[in-house]
Amino acid sequence: MENKFTGTLLGAAIGDSLGMMVEELPIDEVIEFYGEPVKDLTVPHPSSPSYFLRPGENTSEFDIVMLVAKSIIDRKMIDIKDIIEKYIQWFESSEIHTYVDPHFLLAIQSILEGQDIENNGSTVDHALPSIPIGLYHYKNPYLAVEAAKAVCMLTTRNEYVLDVASAICVAISELSQEKFYLPDENEYFIKHLKNFTFKNETKHYLNKVINLLKEDADYEKAINELGNGSFVLEAFSQALFIFLKTPHDTENVIIKAANSYGYYGGDTDSIALIAGALAGCYNGEEMIPERWKEGLLKKEYIIDTAEKLFEVALH
Q: Which residues are annotated as a binding site for Mg(2+)?
A: 59, 267, 269-270
What does the alpha-carbon distance between residue 220 and residue 217 come to, in Å, rounded to a whole number? Answer: 8
Amino acid letter for position 106: L
Q: Which residues are annotated as a binding site?
A: 59, 267, 269-270
Which is it for the CA torsion 249, 179, 146, 137, positive or negative? negative
Q: Which of 168, 158, 174, 182 is nearest to 271 (CA)?
A: 168
Q: Which of 149, 152, 150, 141 is nearest to 176 (CA)?
A: 141
Cβ–Cβ < 8 Å for 9, 63: no
Amino acid letter for position 48: S
62: Cβ contacts below 8 Å, ≥ 6 apart: 12, 13, 16, 17, 273
Q: Which of 164, 174, 221, 217 is nearest to 194 (CA)?
A: 164
